[in-house]
Amino acid sequence: MNYLAALLVCSTLIAGREADVPDPPDLRGWNMVGERVHLEIKGEDAEKVFTEIVGFTEDYQNPNDPTERVRVVKKIIPLIPAEMTMGDDPTSPTSIISNYIRKKSNDKLKKRYENSEAIAYMRYHLLRDARTGRTESWLRTQEGPWIYREGVEPDRSTFSEPSKDDPEEPILVGIKFSLGGEYRILKIDQDFIVKHGRRP
Amino acid sequence: MKNRMRQIILAAACGLSFLAVPRGLWAQENQLGEKKEAASVECKKGFLDCYWFLLSPSDEKAFKNLKTDIERQAFIEQFWKDRDPDPNTPENERKIETDQWIKDVEEDTILLRNTDVDFSPTTFREGGGPRGEMARIYLLHGMPDFKAKLPEGQRFVELMMWTYGDGSGHIKYNFLFYKKYGMFKVFRLYGMGLETALQEISNRFGPQDPDYINQEWYEFQAADIQRIFQSALFQFSDYSKMNPDEAMKPPTPAALLVEQSGSGVLGDPIIPPGWVMRWSTSPTSLPVRFRISGNKGGIPLILLKYSDVDWREKENEFELVLKLRIFFQNKETKQLVLFKSDKQKEKVPYYERWITKKAKKNELLANPDAFFALPLVELGREIENFPAGTYRVNIYLRHEVTNKDAAFVEEIVKK
């Protein structure tokens, strides 16, 4: 019995303390700090740099407590700019096409930012002490419910799947966030990746 | 003897035909350093007078057919927008550059101020004036990377060469001008042999006899110590399809280059023509419940709420099309299960289908928060035939139009 109790306590400590699920932070009135960081999947070959964007993170600061921050992970409908490597000559067709793709991508990204969806929050304090040092994390599963944990942050890892054309070679297609045994995957259809020109 | 001499000359010419012009010259800055600086001037004459060299015949005709100032202004704005090489910057670099070059041609002093070695001062007037070939080339391409002149000899006319590099060490254009009847003309007789070329640049009227041509060639070689003009007689560009007339055409607008390249940004919604979208409140996801098991008789199910998905509407009928792809991998053997494919004869290592759901308007609007199920009967039958084992299941569902999606990784046990 003692062994089982100890096992239960350890499991809970490792997985993070589960509590009744509080609502994710309401960030209205909070100020964004730092830069927006894209969640990207990258690859390259001799001619091109491939960047596929599946989401981004933003950090917000509590206006009433500057040491309190919330990091938000937001999903977007994936954006896949087909950008060519810039040549040395800015007037060359390659450079011109690259400029246009970059402009188009930036315009579309702005719209993506507005139509994004929060899938994870991490609340933390810059100054950690016994009272304020705990991280609180929320992760929204694909089906909709939020998972909540204290003391841990969502784990982030790359996500691959078998390539349709060459199952022996996995193809990197996304990013996976895990929390408390649940997960959320931000990914791109590998058909788009292949159409983009990136191979496993 | 004369024929033998001609053969030797032609053989030597072929050997010289790919002689490289000093490549290091492309890296040299333009002597006057003016090519890249922003112009503070704008052409004040009418649009057609200013930019005639950038207009194709159809552009010119379209502009002339416009009736009002508003239409003309809109045309001009779109014209420059299509030619902006970098839409990420507020200024239109092409227009700034072009207006400066127009000013250079009008003032006709830029080539007089030149300080290049082996290039005596010249003017656009010597090349036919502001609408002559020399001016046209300058207006399209700016100051050449390299210029040289060969003074008139006893038997050949004065020659001038303008060379443009492509930024990667290759010759983009090598315009050779020859001064006949008091005016510089662009040489065009590539691929027609040395004799024809020498006839053209000869300073005597009419066809010359072979002796004269031989003498002309000797004299030409002696004067052209660096052999750059000899090379220019045979090769216009390192790019085989390029010729002077092509290089003197209005360039393809930047926007059209992009369109022709087929490059673009993937991932945007593509709404089929004739359909109207009814958007859900979910901005990026398909809030779907997916039920799959290895149990006998268990039919995989996709469960969705009417209001959680985007419907396309046409004539009071609503339609939803989803792409489903599933990989099943046996955890013990690591083998992927093979399935019949709609598109290929051989089996493929994934299950992929387009799933369509239609709904009537009243069905959708009566109870938008109701769930509906998409049973995957065929998939259920396939799973029944799986060998026993534990399978890692990688599920992906994507909306055909909006690209909103859902991704799952599950495990099923097939007994």
Residues of B in Cβ contact (< 8 Å) with A108 = 265, 268
How far away is chain A from the Cα of B127, in angstroms, using its nearest Cα? 26
Q: pLDDT tens across B328-345, in order?
A: 999 999 999 999 987 778
Where residue A129 falls among pLDDT bands split at 50, 70, 90?
Answer: low
Q: What is the pLDDT of residues B293-313, one digit of tens each?
A: 877 777 899 999 999 999 998
Which pLDDT score, from 0 to 100, does residue B121 have?
Answer: 86
Q: Do B349 and A108 touch (CB under 8 A)?
A: no
**Tokens 């038997």 identify what position?**
B155
Residue B15 has a pLDDT of 41
- The pLDDT score that the predictor gives to residue B1 is 37
Number of H helices and E strands in chain B, helices first, is 13, 14
Do the bridges between strand A31-44 and strand B276-278 make them parallel or antiparallel, or are there none, so unpaired? Answer: unpaired
Tell me whether A102 touches chain B (CB under 8 Å).
yes
Contact A87 B167 (CB under 8 A): yes
- Evaluate if residue B55 carries a pLDDT over 80: yes
Reading phi first (left if > 0) and then psi (alpha if -120 to 50, else beta), residue B267 is in left
Q: Which residues of B touch A (CB under 8 A)?
A: 85-88, 166-168, 254-255, 257-258, 261, 263-269, 282-285, 287-289, 323, 325, 327, 329, 336, 348-350, 394, 396, 398, 402-409
pLDDT at position B40 is 54
Per-residue model confidence as pLDDT tens digits over B147-163: 999 999 999 999 999 99
Is the pLDDT at B398 greater than 90? The verdict is: yes
Which residues of B are less than 8 Å from A170 in CB distance? none
Measured between beta carbons, the chain B residues lying within 8 angstroms of A144 are 287
pLDDT of B30 strictly over 60: no
Q: What count of other Cβ atoms lies within 10 Å of the Cβ of residue A108? A: 18
Tell me the pLDDT tens digit for each residue of B190-248: 988 999 999 999 998 888 899 999 999 999 999 999 999 999 999 999 988 899 999 99
At A19-77, the pLDDT tens digits run: 578 999 999 999 999 999 999 988 776 666 778 899 999 999 999 999 899 999 999 99
Q: Per-residue pLDDT for B352 more than 70?
A: yes
Q: For position A47, what pLDDT does the model report?
A: 67
pLDDT band at A190 (very low <50, low <70, confident <90, very high): very high
Q: Is B59 exposed, middle or buried (0-12, 13-18, 19+ CB in 10 A)?
A: middle
Higher pLDDT, A15 or A149: A149
- Note the pLDDT of residue B37: 42
Q: Tell me the angle at which helices A93-114 and B254-261 cross, rounded to the nearest 10 degrees.
A: 80
Q: Do residue A99 and residue B168 have CB atoms under 8 angstroms apart?
A: no
Chain B hits for A78, Cβ within 8 Å:
267, 403
pLDDT score of A100: 85
Residue type, B304: L
Instruction: Give CA–CA dist B77/B86, Å, rounded.
Output: 15
Query: Residue B157: what pLDDT?
Result: 95
Q: What is the predicted pLDDT for the residue at B19?
A: 36
